[in-house]
Chains A and B, each alone.
Chain A
Amino acid sequence: GNSVTQMEGPVTLSEEAFLTINCTYTATGYPSLFWYVQYPGEGLQLLLKATKADDKGSNKGFEATYRKETTSFHLEKGSVQVSDSAVYFCALTRILTGGGNKLTFGTGTQLKVEL
């Protein structure tokens, strides 16, 4: 079945440091890939997405490239800020037999950015 594996956290960085959060997936076919972010006490916000191989999703300085050959979708940001502190979830979507679609999430990676 489909699954998503993320690096374990917490990841602690100083402000302006470079961020990488690793994500690999197992899936049949070619799923769409997503990164969601969850701030304390809130729901999930869509950060970026990619729908096919070699697509690069980007938003708010974050980037991730859909790598079919390595089944990866690593999240990167060149310079993190304290306000980026949150939990980041990698996810893939699978089309269901009834025509619906479900998201399969990784376990999440907590990011802490310090001054």
Chain B
Amino acid sequence: DAGVTQSPTHLIKTRGQHVTLRCSPISGHKSVSWYQQVLGQGPQFIFQYYEKEERGRGNFPDRFSARQFPNYSSELNVNALLLGDSALYLCASSFGQGDQPQHFGDGTRLSIL
């Protein structure tokens, strides 16, 4: 079975631009979470979606937004990119909510010039 898939794998943008990152969860998983991992740090929680509704939001500015589609895939959008947005963006899926293990994709490496 396919794991969590993310696209693109790498992306280079300049300051002020907008970016969209995509994630397909493991088949049968209905919850998708997004994390930002800055080099040398642990991942930081951005959003969680379950059944197309936002179920949690981390401490990130409004430039960050996300949505989940009827097939449970998800997009993360970041507007007005800053140099500090350079990071590995990880998507994780789980079967449901509550105390469910989250399974991660390989991430999208975003570099801002």
Residues of A that sit less than 8 Å from B by CB:
4, 32, 34, 36, 41-46, 49, 51, 89, 91, 93, 95-96, 98-108
Contact = CB atoms under 8 A, between A and B. Distances in A.
A106 B40 CA distance: 11
Interface of B: 4, 31, 33, 35, 40-45, 48, 50, 53-56, 58, 90, 92, 97-107
Contacts of B97: 99-101
22 contacts: A41-B106, A46-B101, A46-B102, A46-B104, A93-B99, A96-B55, A98-B53, A98-B54, A98-B55, A99-B50, A99-B97, A100-B48, A100-B55, A102-B48, A102-B58, A103-B33, A103-B35, A103-B45, A103-B102, A105-B43, A107-B42, A108-B40
A96 B42 contact: no
Contacts of A102: 33, 45, 48, 56, 58
Contacts of A108: 40-42
Nearest to B43: A105
Q: Binding site of A, secondary structure by majority: helix, strand, loop or mixed? A: strand
A40 to B, nearest CB: 11
Given A34-B101, A36-B104, A101-B98, 16 more contacts: A43-B4, A44-B90, A46-B104, A89-B43, A93-B99, A95-B99, A96-B55, A99-B50, A99-B55, A100-B50, A102-B48, A102-B56, A105-B43, A106-B42, A107-B41, A107-B42
A94 to B, nearest CB: 9
B106 A43 contact: yes
B56 A101 contact: yes
Nearest to B97: A99
Max chain B CB contacts within 10 Å: which of A98, A106, A108? A98
